[in-house]
Amino acid sequence: MTNGILPKNSGMSSPQNEWPEFLEPGKWLSGRYKVIRKLGCGSFGKVVEAYDDKNKHGCAIKISKEKAAARQEFRTLEILGNKDPKNETRSVRLLYPNLLHTDDHVCLVMELFGETLLDVLDCNGWAPIPPSHVQHVASQVFASLTSLGVLGLFHNKSSGCIGTKRSSCSL
């Protein structure tokens, strides 16, 4: 089903380093979102930074050809938003209440965040992160995982923590 948001057969099957024309900076999606820049790509899709002309703020748009996976991600984020209206889990939020889609693509409009941990490491020449910063980030991650577990959205039994011969722990 095409609704005019994205062009049909626009090339998402291209290699990861090639981006379809509709994701080029300056292009408009749904007549509402102006693509600002490409943020990244992975196995399941590509992400662009965009400007929401209706609400006058930046956003991230994840574009995927994997419709089933995108719909599941949308449902999960929708449930999370309903169960956690104060965002105690510090999780990404949907900004548009519906999936944007065409015959070939599904798009999720989400909050725009800053740099990833990988970006920070790369920007700093892969220098070690100060322990105080690691502690701060780890504390936030554990608080988020705890909140997700309380909501029943993340299975966090202590048996999921597996030790290694070096006395470290993996989740």
**Is residue 62 a known part of a binding site?**
yes
> 83: which residues sit within 8 A by CB, 6+ positions away?
151, 153
Q: What is the mean pLDDT of residues 59-80?
A: 89
The verdict on pTM exceeding 0.85 is no
% residues pLDDT > 90 (the chain): 26
Is 72's pLDDT higher than 70? yes
Q: pLDDT tens digit string along 28-39? A: 988 999 999 999
What is the pLDDT, as a whole number, of residue 35? 95
Helix (H, G, I), strand (E, B) or coil at 14: coil
